[in-house]
Amino acid sequence: SLRINQVSLDDFMDLLALYKHEKDKNIWALVSGIFSTMYKIYPDQNLGTFIGKFCKPSLEVLGKEYSENSSQEESQLRSIICGLYAKYSNDKEFNNYFVDLFETNKYEEYNDGNYYNLVLSIAGMDPSVSVTKYLDKFIQAETPQIEGRYRSMLWGLSDPKTPEVVLNAILEGTIRGADGPYIVSGLISHTENGEAAWMIVKDNWDNLLKVMPEWTSSRILDGLPSIYNEALGKDIEKFVASNPLPSAEKITKQKIERLNANIKFKNLIINSLKKTRFE
C-alpha cells in the first residue's frame, strides 16, 4: 500500500509500531526488510537510531550472547533482531562484541549455525575487518557446510577492498564460476560498495561471463530489485542494453522494470521520510 501511495508514511509507521514486541521470526524478517528499504532510500542517523530503539525491547529479552539452550525459533529470531540492531543503531560496543568473537575465532566453537552466521555477518559490517580473512577461511574450510557459510558472506562485507578481492577470486577460479553470479549480484547491490563493485564488473564483463556457466549468468542481475541508487541503476540499465546477458532478455527486462519501480518509489517517499520525526 505504501508503494502505491494508498497509505501515508505516518499511518504506515503507526501500523509498524504494533509489531515492536512481536515474537514471530517471520514478522521480524518482514520488518527487517522494510527498515532496510527505508534506510537505502534515506540513510539518516535519526532513522538508524529509531530502528535501534525499535529493536531494543526484544533485544533485552533475547540478549546478544550465545546460548546452547535456545530453540531453533528463538535462535533465528535473535539473529534477525541482533543483525538489524547492529546494522543501523551505531552501537559500537554492541558490534565490537561480535568483532571480538570473530577475531578470536571463539564463534567456531558454537554448534548453532544461526549464531555462527550472525557473528560472521555483524563482524563483516566493520570496514576494518578484512575481506581477506573471510576469503582465507572460505578457502581453508574443512566441510562444504562451513565453506558455504563463508561464501554467503563474501559479497556483504563492508571492507572497501571487498569488490576487488572477491571479483578477482571469481576470475581466478578460487570461487567456483557457478557461484559467481550470485556473489556478483550481492556485490553490486551492496549499499556501501555497490558502485565500486559495478565499475569492476563492467571492466571485466566478458571475462566474468567466460568463467560462469551460461545458464547461471543471468543471476548477476538478481540484486537489481534491492538497488535504490538512481545513478547506479541508470548505468546498469544502459550497460546491459549494450552488453546483453546470454539468453536472458526477458529476465533482464523484468529486473530493470523492478529497478525502475524502486527509483519511482524512492522519489515518491523521500520527502515524507525527510519530514518524519523518528523518535
| 21 and 155 fall within a common domain | no
Separation between Cα atoms, residue 130 and residue 162, nearest integer Å: 8
196 and 239 fall within a common domain: yes
In angstroms, the CA 158 to CA 151 distance is 15
- Among residues 83, 99, 126, the one where a domain terminates is 126
With pLDDT > 70 as the criterion, what percentage of the chain qualifies?
98
Final residue before a domain boundary, out of 85, 108, 126: 126
Q: Are residues 276 and 159 in the same domain?
A: yes
On whether both 198 and 169 belong to a single domain, the answer is yes
pLDDT range class, residue 5, cuts 50, 70, 90: low
Cβ atoms of 50 and 90 within 8 Å: the answer is no
* Rounded CA separation 3/19 (Å): 20
pLDDT confidence bin for 4, thresholds 50/70/90: low
Q: Are residues 232 and 261 in the same domain?
A: yes
pLDDT band at 35 (very low <50, low <70, confident <90, very high): very high
The mean pLDDT of 175-192, rounded to a whole number, is: 96
* Type of residue numbered 272: S
Q: Say if residue 212 is in the same domain as residue 249.
A: yes
Report how far residue 92's alpha carbon sits from residue 137's, in angstroms, rounded to the nearest whole number: 25
Query: What confidence score (pLDDT) does residue 279 get?
Result: 72
* Distance in angstroms (rounded) separating the CA atoms of residues 262 and 234: 12
Q: What is the pTM of this model?
A: 0.93
pLDDT in tens, 59-97: 999 999 999 999 999 999 999 999 999 999 999 999 999
Full domain range(s) for residue 35: 1-126
Which domain-ending residue is among 126, 142, 167? 126
Q: Are residues 20 and 39 in the same domain?
A: yes
Cell of 180: 559467481
Please tell me which residue, 278 or 2, carries the higher pLDDT value: 278
Would you place residue 261 in the very low, low, confident or very high pLDDT band (cuts 50, 70, 90)? Answer: very high
Number of separate domains in the chain: 2
DSSP sequence for 97-154: HHHHHHHTTGGGG---HHHHHHHHHHHTTSTTS-HHHHHHHHHH-SSHHHHHHHHHHG
> What pLDDT is attached to residue 217?
87
| Amino acid type, 112 | D
Q: Find cell 571469481 and name the residue.
A: 170
Q: What is the CATH number of the domain that holds 208?
A: 1.25.50.20
Residues 100, 161, single domain; the answer is no
**Same domain for 167 and 101?**
no
pLDDT of 1 strictly over 80? no
Cell of 16: 509498524
